[in-house]
Amino acid sequence: MDSLKVNCPAKLNLNLSVLGKRTDGMHEIKTHFQLINLFDEMLIKKTSSKSISVKTNLGASIDGKKNIVFDAIRSLSNYIGKEIYCDIEIVKNIPLGGGLGGGSSNAAAALIGTNFLFKLGLSCSELMKLGKKLGADVPFFIFGKNAHASGIGEKLSEEIKHSNKKYLLLFPQVHSSTKEFFSKWDDLSKDSQESILMREENSFLPIFLEKNQDIKRIFNELNKNNSFKLSGTGSTIFCAYNDKNKIEKTLKKIPTKWRHSFCEPLQCSPLLTYLK
């Protein structure tokens, strides 16, 4: 076997609370992760050249060493004490900076897929430890099941109840920086933080809307008919729905430049196929 093609799922944060800042600068959070059927596609190929190549359909800005997938392969090489060489091609369908975990899902897929393709024999828990060093959401995507998460997002307990809700995702075409929004959260007074935690399902919603006033106006308008939420630190906003006809009215209210996607919940990640 010389190559492997895998699907990397996106996630929604059905809720997200920031509980505090740790001495290492990371933040303690509490969240409910839900996998959805929106996927990036990844092809991993063995190569005879002594290099790691990472290419996407979005061009040079996130290719090569700029991509978290490159770091994932390097971390695997360091862990097993032997160089791994491969060519990786990624078709990005999950928006960048959208709060849907696309980069983390890609990193998880690279760790799982390469472990499988090269027969490295690493366990799920070993891969999760490597993943945690790459990013807070990576362990969840290796875990591959809907979960409640705490710590920095790495302490996971499986959500047993299966969701049958459908989701409408709206992509406002702005890039949200997770680092920037955590920094803005830290700048808030204790009283403001506590007030947000009591009032909001997602701690970052007021901060996101404050920064993006044009989105705030549309968000408030949309919320007259539906209950929209923010995923992660944004910029994707989403709502659960049962009736497609009712949601058609909502679509008429969104700006023409916004993209949208109808998604369904996954019970588990397709990446679990490649884990022992």
The residues that are catalytic are 11, 137
Side chain identity at 152, as an amino acid letter? Answer: I
Phi-psi region for residue 60, left (φ > 0), alpha (ψ -120 to 50) or beta?
alpha
pLDDT of residue 17: 98
| Cβ atoms of 99 and 10 closer than 8 Å | no
- Convert the pLDDT of each residue in 91-100 to its tens digit: 999 999 999 9
Rounded Cα gap, residues 130 and 196, in angstroms = 33
- Convert the pLDDT of each residue in 161-217 to its tens digit: 888 889 999 999 999 999 999 999 999 999 999 999 999 999 999 999 999 999 999
Rounded Cα gap, residues 141 and 107, in angstroms = 9
Which pairs from 22-27 meet CB under 8 Å and 24+ separation?
22/152, 26/136, 26/152, 27/152, 27/182, 27/185
Is the pLDDT confidence value at 276 over 80? no
Residue 9: closest CA among 205, 273, 226: 273
Token readout for 260 is 């949208």
Helix pair angle (68-80, 124-134), 10° resolution? 130
Token readout for 62 is 């996130």
Token readout for 231 is 């995923």
Lowest mean pLDDT among 128-137, 197-206, 243-252: 243-252
Which pairs from 157-162 meet CB under 8 Å and 24+ separation?
159/32, 159/34, 162/265, 162/267
